[in-house]
């Protein structure tokens, strides 16, 4: 993936190295593994579902005031470019395809731990989107873990992770995130899990839609990039992670969908380039 032509977003809050609460007794290896499992098995839904109670925490916590801009290091610059391209693509296609104006989210880069509008953000949770403050939270160490522990990696695979979280922001702007909460409030665990999986798969598809349009604008991804992202999507399916951790893969416990489902929806978005094709709630 070439990122030379991408505009850097200035909507990045760089909180790395700002310290925070001590992490306790977990070893680094355990944290890294938890990070991967956390991302693939449910931090976004739990954040979404827990939205209401977490607002309370927001008022109690001390908000961190961090100036926004574009980081200077390699990974920070890359994240800012990917974010900038999501801003440009979604500002163009959301009005065209869904009749809504796009509002830019903020990308918070942090190390280990930080505060979010949805409660404390920790590396172990993996990247997530907080619908309360419209911010994406990412510990960039996650990219290193993808590479080392999942055999994933590659720039487009990292871009896909950011684009997936931006996909949740698009869902939020479209008023689609309430479905998970409604299902949860109904007390029907199966319905809640189902809504959560559909929400995650739609975010994968929306990441694909973004990549489709980025490639029209810049011709900057090739088959190898797509294979890497698909390999990543496949590696972080709930079924694969369950097997890797020695658990039995139980579809009812999935919150992100199986490897095959994730690959299918990412590919659907990539091929079609349309939000409409991402209606995971339709079938």
Select the residue interacting with Zn ion from 13, 14, 44, 133 (CB under 5 A). 44
Region 139-198 residues binding Zn ion, contact defined as CB under 5 A = none
Between 70 and 200, CB nearer to Zn ion: 200
Q: Are 136 and 166 in contact (CB under 8 A)?
A: yes
Q: At what angle do helices 155-173 and 223-235 cross, to 10 degrees?
A: 70
Q: How far is the CB of 261 from Zn ion (least distance, A)?
A: 13
Q: Are 5 and 220 in contact (CB under 8 A)?
A: yes
Six token digits for residue 129: 């989107």
Mask: binding to Zn ion, 194-233, rule CB under 5 A, as x and -?
------x--x------------------------------
Between 102 and 265, CB nearer to Zn ion: 265
The sign one gets for the Cα dihedral 14, 16, 22, 28 is positive
Strands (E), the chain: 12-14, 68-69, 106-109, 113-116, 119-122, 128-130, 135-138
Phi, psi (degrees; rounded to nearest 5) at 115 = -90, 145
Q: How far is the CB of 129 from Zn ion (least distance, A)?
A: 7
Q: How far is the CB of 153 from Zn ion (least distance, A)?
A: 19
Region 108-137 residues binding Zn ion, contact defined as CB under 5 A = none
Is position 238 an interface residue for Zn ion (rule: CB under 5 A)? no
Interacting residues toward Zn ion by CB under 5 A: 44, 200, 203
């Amino acid at each position: 993936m070439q990122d030379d032509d991408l505009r850097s977003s200035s909507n990045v809050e760089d909180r790395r190295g700002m310290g925070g609460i001590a992490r306790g007794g977990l070893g680094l290896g355990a944290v890294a593994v938890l990070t991967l499992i956390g991302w693939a098995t449910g931090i976004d839904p739990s954040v979404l579902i827990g939205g209401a109670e977490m607002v309370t925490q927001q008022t109690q916590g001390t908000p961190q005031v961090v100036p926004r801009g574009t980081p200077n290091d390699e990974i920070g610059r890359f994240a800012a470019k990917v974010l900038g391209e999501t801003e440009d693509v979604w500002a163009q296609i959301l009005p065209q395809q869904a009749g809504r104006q796009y509002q830019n989210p903020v990308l918070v880069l942090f190390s280990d731990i930080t505060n979010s509008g949805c409660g404390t953000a920790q590396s172990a949770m993996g990247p997530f989107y907080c619908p309360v403050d419209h911010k994406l939270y990412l510990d960039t160490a996650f990219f290193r873990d993808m590479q080392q522990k999942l055999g994933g990696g590659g720039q487009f695979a990292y871009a896909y992770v950011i684009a997936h979280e931006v996909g949740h922001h698009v869902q939020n702007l479209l008023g689609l995130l309430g479905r998970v909460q409604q299902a949860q409030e109904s007390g029907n665990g199966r319905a809640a899990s189902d809504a959560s999986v559909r929400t995650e798969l739609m975010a994968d598809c929306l990441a694909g839609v973004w990549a489709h349009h980025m490639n029209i604008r810049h011709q900057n991804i090739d088959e190898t990039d797509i294979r890497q992202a698909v390999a990543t999507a496949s590696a972080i399916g709930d079924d694969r992670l369950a097997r890797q951790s020695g658990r039995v893969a139980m579809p009812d416990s999935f919150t992100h969908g199986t490897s095959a489902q994730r690959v299918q929806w990412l590919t659907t978005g990539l091929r079609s380039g349309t939000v409409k094709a991402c209606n995971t709630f339709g079938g």
